[in-house]
Amino acid sequence: MSDKPGNQTPNTPDVSETDLRNKKVDELRQEARDEHISGASGLRKEELVKEVAKARQDDHDGGRGGNSRSGGEDAEDLGAGPDGGRIRHGDDSSKSLKYSQEITSPDEEPEREGRSLATTHHDVIKQWAEERGGVPATVDGTEHGDHLGVLRIDFRDRDAKLREVSWEEWFKTFDDRRLNFIYQEQRSDGSQSNFFRLENPDREDA
């Protein structure tokens, strides 16, 4: 229960969950981002308390190696991409893109639940996909010589028509085609959303 005194997380003697529970959700989410905890925007208050407490204890023990929600060094190495995460515009930019909130950093949050978002930021896209068990993929049979075909993200159910590729390959194609990533973090009811689509602003069919 949230009104229990002291620390309720095993093996975290130096972390006070009571202090964390006294913070507002927005403050907890900021602390979660500071601790590089992925998916902070989708966590409830009690989940945020547990994750921040665990991350602090991991820091105390000599690093975040035990934090399974951390994106890790490889996520940081991807960077923002050639456009710095900013939306690409063209003659065929859709209305969806026009009314989407632009996300140019992993630290940015949706203005409200269910908000349509758009980005080209590599770290943001990779983090979003991995939080949902997604991997970079292409549709088999749509390749053009040595170039990847239609890009997709394959979630936990693993579509047999999709072939997993590396994030390096995926983002090279994504940038070469000047695509935008339109997506949601949460549905309007607050539950996690897997909605996304790729759009080429220079032509209607990406």
Report domain extents, the chain: 1-70, 73-199
Per-residue confidence (pLDDT) for residue 155, from 0 to 100: 87
Per-residue confidence (pLDDT) for residue 7, from 0 to 100: 43
Euclidean distance between CA atoms 144 and 124, whole angstroms: 27
Q: Which helix (H) or strand (E) holds 78?
A: helix 72-78
Q: How confident is the model at residue 158 (pLDDT cuts 50, 70, 90)?
A: low
Q: How many helices (H) and strands (E) does the chain have?
A: 7, 7
Greatest Cα pair distance in the chain: 63
pLDDT at 132 over 80: yes
Q: Which amino acid is at 182?
A: I
Per-residue confidence (pLDDT) for residue 168, from 0 to 100: 93
